[in-house]
Structure 1
Amino acid sequence: MLPPTAAAVVDTGVAEAVTSELERCCADFVAHSSSLDPVFAHDVAERLAAFTCQGGSRIRPRFLWWALRACGGTDAHTPGALRVAAALELIQSCALIHDDVMDQSAVRRGKPSFHTQIARQYPQAQAAREPGPSPFSQSAAVLAGDLALSWADDLIAVADLDPPVRARVLRIWRAMRTEMIAGQYLDLHGQTTSSRSAVQAMRTVSLKAARYTVEQPLALGAALAGADDTTTRALTAAGRCAGIAFQLRDDLLGVFGDPALTGKPSGEDIRSGKATYLLALAHTRARASGATAVVDLLQDCRGSAPLSDSALAAVREALHSTGAPAQVERRIERLAKASERHFAAAHLSGPAARRLSELLARVASPPQDRSITTEAAVRGPAR
């Protein structure tokens, strides 16, 4: 049983409170792993604990926490909420580690990705192989992601929740896990089939990002506080719109963003061949306007892992010529306004409701990124 934590204390530092909870929980998990085998504990469990505890914005726990507080959550709800929030961060670790394997991404949060760390620890596994992650490092990372999901489920299983609340939380949790994996599969499917469907891209965005990043954490917070169905529906609708806007913004940053700010190489989505809404929209607009050279360029560069800086600059110019980035920006703005309307329909008031409203607005349309489709941003930072 966790010692009770005053909700007002968590209010002053949600990320710090969740990180402290993660550190306590992960210490227990690592201790158990050490009792099984020291190599497994060192290579996988300790690295997973560090990956989870030392990085991330804690955006999902923030949504959970402020939804809880806005819906009337008190000190009595705090231990259970922190435990569920910690579980959210572990399932996020699972998603990130697996995503990096699927995308063969060497960098995460400005540091070597999990499988890259394993590869550096065991360079002999890479000897005489072609460039790219070794099967050993990728397999180890898959196991680490599975372990993160197991730890997350363990935390949900022991969270101190009243039976009616537990039932609601479990329904949301089970749905969220499947939605996340469905979104990951659709992401892979879009890459493999070179999908140009904007509809499919938006479905992937909804499942892989919007529901999992914003909508379901809000639903969990509302469930933990015992919110009624009307309030919960309004909150989750607001979260769905904000979450889609968030991922569309992330897609723009993936092509036009500064790696120093994003923590990932610019153009990663192009190199990995991701079927993003931005690319699908650009293809549609280029075909409609008869810009065959743009269509061919986007098709040829997509999935080109060794894409050079000059080729990436050409892709940026091509995207800009279709008007797709500007149209994505307009859709983000519409989604942000829709999120505001849905949130207003929840009829929540007080400091926590204001914090939640501000958080939704920042996620839906962060002001520091509004210039991303300007001429300078499209051409990228000077090199």
Structure 2
Amino acid sequence: MTSTDTDAALARLLEAGRSRAAAVDPHHANLWTALAAATEGGKRFRPGLVVAAHDALGGAQASAAAEVGAAVELLHTAFVIHDDVIDGDHLRRGRLNVSGTFRAQARSDGAGPDEAADYGLTAAILAGDLALAAAVRAVATCGAPGPVVHHLLDLFDAALHTTASGELADVRLSMDVVEATLPESLAMEEQKTSAYSFALPLQAGAVLAEAEPATTARLGEAGRTMGIAFQLVDDLIGVFGDPDRSGKSSTSDLRTRKQTPLLVHARSTAQWSELRTYVGRDLDADELDHVRGLLTASGSRRFVEDLAEEHLKASRTVLDELGMSLEMLDDVTTRPPALAGTGAAA
């Protein structure tokens, strides 16, 4: 099976939703147009994991695997759209996201700034809701046998609960009412990313291949550690990254006081007394460069890089034990291109 199978399945799901929406109201159909745009530009590694796990374990339900892979991508899109609302971001991958698109349209139509902002947030919340519903529907109608579909729905439900818990914890910790410990920060990152981005697709592929329960459980463990590594690297990109290459702001995490392991570690260093003055506000380019220097000098960047590498190795160990070689995981690295040229620790 190729990535075009999951791309085709995703396109069908989006077109089906757009067609149903157009029959209701043209403005509603615009939500699906924006939703489709929100799925563009990603690496599609989540649906790739579903298909790869299914194929590696000798699965014979290629069509269902493509549908479930598309469902995972829709789930990811829903979380991204809602995450942008939570963070107050109007750009994604260097262009207007759903809220930004509808806000700009409202302004063009003559709405005031506050009304346009409310309209944009409303559209984003609704688009994310529609993506969630479409993802679950895709799983329920994927064509796999009934017991398999039931197991898949249980996996999706568990991922939804875990991710929602992680997202809420992220915002709760960002209020800075209490200082998060490193275990609390890592637990938040595990819940926020690992469950739906790695554990879910790997386990869904195994369930579709009707693998042994022990194998499915082990893949969940591999996904958990892999997801933590991925999120740790994403935290680095969120400060040290090049927005033109990553599509991610390099100041948003600092502005919103995200209690990532990067900042939790920095709080224990001598540089924190100065670093803290830059957290919770907008930074210009010179200030950001200074923060990057402080985080490097404090050893916090190296600490997070090493921690990510440990988790990545742990996940690969599990995959090796299961005799699985997933080539697309070579792209999950602690030295991504988006970090190039930002003064990596030697």
Q: TM-score range, shorter-chain basis?
A: over 0.9
- DSSP-derived class of the 1:266 partner: coil
* Counterpart code for 1:18: T
- Matches of 1:367 and 1:307, distance apart in 2: 24
Residues in 1 aligned to 2:162 and 2:113: alpha-carbon distance in whole angstroms: 39
Q: 1:59 aligns with which of 45, 50, 54?
A: 45
Any residues of structure 2 matched to 1:296-375 within 5 Å, and which? 296-304=273-281, 306-346=282-322, 348=323, 353-354=324-325, 356=326, 358-366=327-335, 368=337
Deviations 1:75-131 (Å, cap 9, x if unpaired)? xx011111111111111111011111111112212211211111110116762649x
Partner of residue 150, structure 2? 167
CA apart distance, 1:197: 2.4
Q: Return the letter of the residue paired with 1:251.
A: D
Matched position secondary structure for 1:134: helix
Q: Give the alignment's TM-score, normalised by structure 1.
A: 0.84
Task: Give the Å deviation of 1:60.
Answer: 0.7
Please tell me whether residue 68 in structure 1 is matched to residue 37 in structure 2: no
The aligned counterpart of 1:295 is 272
Q: Where in structure 2 are the equivalents of 1:1-383 lying within 5 Å?
A: 10=1, 13-14=2-3, 16-42=4-30, 44-52=31-39, 54-74=40-60, 77-123=61-107, 127=112, 129=114, 134-193=117-176, 195-284=179-268, 286=269, 291=270, 294-304=271-281, 306-346=282-322, 348=323, 353-354=324-325, 356=326, 358-366=327-335, 368=337, 376-377=343-344
CA offsets per residue over residues 18-66 of structure 1, 9 Å max, x none?
Answer: 1111111211111111111112112x122112322x2311111011111
The 3-state SS of whatever aligns with 1:376 is coil
* 2:64–2:142 Cα contact (<8 Å) kept: yes
TM-score (norm 2): 0.92
- Give the secondary structure class of the aligned counterpart of 2:23: helix
| In 1, Cα distance between equivalents of 2:13 and 2:342 | 47
Q: Would you say the 8 A contact 2:222–2:314 is kept in 1?
A: yes
Separation in structure 2 between the aligned mates of residue 115 and residue 181 of structure 1, nearest angstrom: 20
Structure 2 CA distance for aligned equivalents of residues 377 and 259 of structure 1: 16
The Cα of 1:361 is off from its aligned counterpart by 4.2
* Partner Cα separation in structure 2 for residue 171 and residue 58 of structure 1: 23
Aligned residue pairs, count: 343
Note closer, same or farther for the CA distance 1:61–1:218 as it changes in structure 2 (3 Å cut): same
Asked if structure 2 preserves the Cα contact closer than 8 Å seen for 1:101 and 1:138, the reply is: yes
Q: What 5-or-longer segments of structure 1 have no aligned partner?
A: 1-9, 379-383
* 1:305-338 superposed Cα distances (whole Å, 9 cap, x missing partner): x211122122112211210111111112211221
Change (3 A) 1:22 1:135: same
Find the residue that maps to 1:36 and give its secondary structure: coil
Task: Give the Å deviation of 1:377.
Answer: 4.3
**Match for 1:30: what amino acid?**
R
**In structure 2, what is the Cα distance between the partners aligned to 1:212 and 1:31?**
28
C-alpha displacement at 1:368, in angstroms?
4.5
1:119-173 per-position Cα deviation (integer Å, ceiling 9, x unaligned): 110116762649xx81221122111111111111111221101122122212111
Partner-residue secondary structure (3-state), 2:42: coil
Q: Equivalent pairs: percent with the same residue?
A: 33
Relative to structure 2, which stretch is displaced further, 267-276 or 28-37?
267-276
Q: Which residue of 2 aligns with 1:4?
A: none
Alignment gaps of 5+ in structure 2: none
Give the Cα–Cα distance (whole angstroms) in 1 for the partners of residues 105 and 307 of structure 2.
44
RMSD over aligned Cα atoms: 2.1
Change (3 A) 1:128 1:334: closer
Partners of 1:283 and 1:20 in 2: CA distance? 47
Q: By how many angstroms is 1:189 displaced? A: 1.0
Letter in 2 for 1:318: L
Q: Deviations over 1:274-303 (max 9, x none)?
A: 11111111112x1xxxx2xx3233323222
Instruction: State the distance in 1 between where 2:133 and 2:239 align.
Output: 33
Following TM superposition, where does structure 1 have runs of at least 4 consecutive aligned residues deviating by more than 6 angstroms?
A: none
